Amino acid sequence: MFPPEMNRADSSARVAAGESWDVVIIGGGATGSYAALDAASRGYRTLVVERGDFASGTSSRSTKLIHGGVRYLRQGRPGLVRASLRERTLLLQNAPDYVHERTFVVPVFSGWEKLYYGIGLKVYDLLASGHQPTPSRLLSKAEAAAALPTLRTDRLTGGVRYSDGQFDDTALVLALLRAATEHGAAVLNYTAVVALRKEAGRVCGVELRDEETGATHAVTARVVINATGVFSDEVRRLDEPGAATTIAPSQGAHVVLPREFLPGDTALMIPKTSDGRLLFVIPWQGRVLVGTTDTAVDKIARAPVPLAEEIDFLLEHAALYLTRAPTRADVLSAFAGLRPLVRASRGKTSALSRDHVIRVAPSGLVTIAGGKWTTARKMAEAVINRAAEVGALPRRVCRTESHALPAPELFAGNGDNLTAADVVACARTSMARTVEDVLSRRTLALYRDARGAGELAPLVAATLAAAHGRGEAWQAEQLAVFRALVRQHLP
Ligand SMILES: Cc1cc2nc3c(=O)[nH]c(=O)nc-3n(C[C@H](O)[C@H](O)[C@H](O)COP(=O)(O)OP(=O)(O)OC[C@H]3O[C@@H](n4cnc5c(N)ncnc54)[C@H](O)[C@@H]3O)c2cc1C
């Protein structure tokens, strides 16, 4: 039997018919999607609404690693690393179509560095409790150079090899939502929560606005979950207008380079940048992904753009390690995302938690923020447990630890040979509504090669217009928006 497709019209019809819900989830990123699968698979009547496209927030802008986080080890946080590695094991089991092993090499320039990183990565192996896909190993200079053929070897003395998980972030969101749909959830993109409904001071539902038609609907829910990442304070203020700021956004940028900068299957891990961070240079989608940065920002943009200095930082650091220095002219695409870091305690901006935080307001609004992609399943389990208490739902156990995710959709998932039939498939099976949805999040064309994606835009606009009954003006507007987006993805 074929699983039911995600269908916007069906979900809209259920909302318009006044269906009431156990759980309404605001936000269709990693957190909201895993929460939707968790709630729906426990048998709760679940609705998830996303004001843009699914995964259009932080969740499509990650470094694409399912990892324990080597840097948390350096920060002396083995508990966080162990918990994340456990989630990595579960994702490799439950989502093998979306998550796979990737081997990394840390280049070393002295015997002391080799010892330091060698021991550190052995501890990383041990924290995986017997589930490390490939154990770490010390490499000679020749072995390191063979694994990374474009690595500069002038001062190199050897390397340390370890392995971690790499994944397709957007495809995983779509798979989670499709799995939730199979359990009866309704999922809507381009649908914003514009107000919370209350009865006697308790949240009892939401007001939705269809961002395409402007139509509004009142929806009833036993419990409402705010899973809006960096926007979670905005939604909390629909509940309590004076609510204090809890999110301190930090921007991370990436550049995508041609494959020749790092041929082979092994990724390069740069253990210490000039600002004391880790940097990854990773084979990805037949290209090379370099990231990321950590830039505190004041403004929470819906579509953040890499800063010129972030791109320079990435290129300069890659140049220190690679035989050929990449320049701005080599950049195929550049993109940025905002980390939803949660202030650990009020007023202290320095104490930012990398863990997730769940807050229940006096009104019963349940907010979850922070954490990382790797831990989204665990976060979802915790927030649905809490939401079930708040909404007085029947207690049911979480089922996601062993919940396999459906296979990817049949459309190419490959921007290079995109056909009109692929575009129709994106629209029909995963609710792609705009040119950007198809060329960025369904096919990754915009991320693989922004200029090339621009050339595909007219075909996509014409095909979507036919599929959704849109006119010429819509197509012209879509093309203008996408042209601007292409410019933003080029340095
Ligand atoms: C640069 C960078 C690199 C990263 N790399 C990794 C990595 O390699 N591995 C890893 O594990 N983690 C990584 N992370 C962290 C990870 O990406 C995030 O923790 C995760 O994606 C957050 O997901 P989320 O669902 O909470 O937020 P989001 O993905 O931002 O989802 C929230 C959604 O809510 C929607 N929304 C907001 N307001 C409303 C409203 N009123 N109505 C309806 N919808 C609304 C938004 O449109 C948005 O889509 C990275 C983060 C960044 C920034």
Q: What pLDDT digit, counting tens, does each position of 172-190 carry? A: 999 999 999 999 999 999 9
Q: What is the CATH topology of the domain spanning 8-59+171-246+344-402?
A: FAD/NAD(P)-binding domain (3.50.50)
Mean pLDDT of the chain: 95
Going by C-alpha positions, the residue among 111, 91, 109 that lies closest to residue 101 is 91
Two structure tokens written together for 14: 């259920």
| C-alpha 470 to ligand 1 mean position (Å) | 30
User: Residue 305 CB: number of other CB atoms within 10 A?
Assistant: 16
Element (H, E) at 106: strand 99-108
Spell out the residues 6+ positions from residue 352 whose beta carbon is closer than 8 angstroms to its own. 248, 250, 341, 342, 343, 344
Domain boundaries, the chain: 8-59+171-246+344-402, 99-164+248-339, 415-488
Q: Grade residue 71 by pLDDT with cuts at 50, 70 and 90.
A: confident
Q: Whose CA is nearest to atom 50 of ligand 1?
A: 62
- 228, 356, 437: residue to mutate for ligand 1 pocket, most atoms within 8 A of CB: 228
| C-alpha 264 to ligand 1 mean position (Å) | 30
Q: Grade residue 1 by pLDDT with cuts at 50, 70 and 90.
A: very low
Residue 407 pLDDT > 50: yes
Residue 352 pLDDT > 50: yes
Residue 343 pLDDT > 60: yes
Q: Which CATH class is domain 99-164+248-339?
A: alpha beta
Q: What pLDDT digit, counting tens, does each position of 358-369 carry? A: 999 999 999 999
Question: Where would I find the beta strands (DSSP E) of 324-476?
Answer: 333-339, 342-343, 352-353, 356-360, 366-370
Ligand 1 atom closest to the Cα of residue 27 is 34
| C-alpha 370 to ligand 1 mean position (Å) | 9
What is the arithmetic mean of pLDDT over 366-388?
Answer: 97
What is the arithmetic mean of pLDDT over 128-150?
Answer: 95
Residue 2 pLDDT > 50: no
Residue 423 pLDDT > 70: yes
Provide the CA 419 distance to its chain's centre, in angstroms.
Answer: 26
Secondary structure of residue 30 in the 3-state scheme: helix
Range name among 29-38, 64-73, 218-227 with the lowest pLDDT average: 64-73
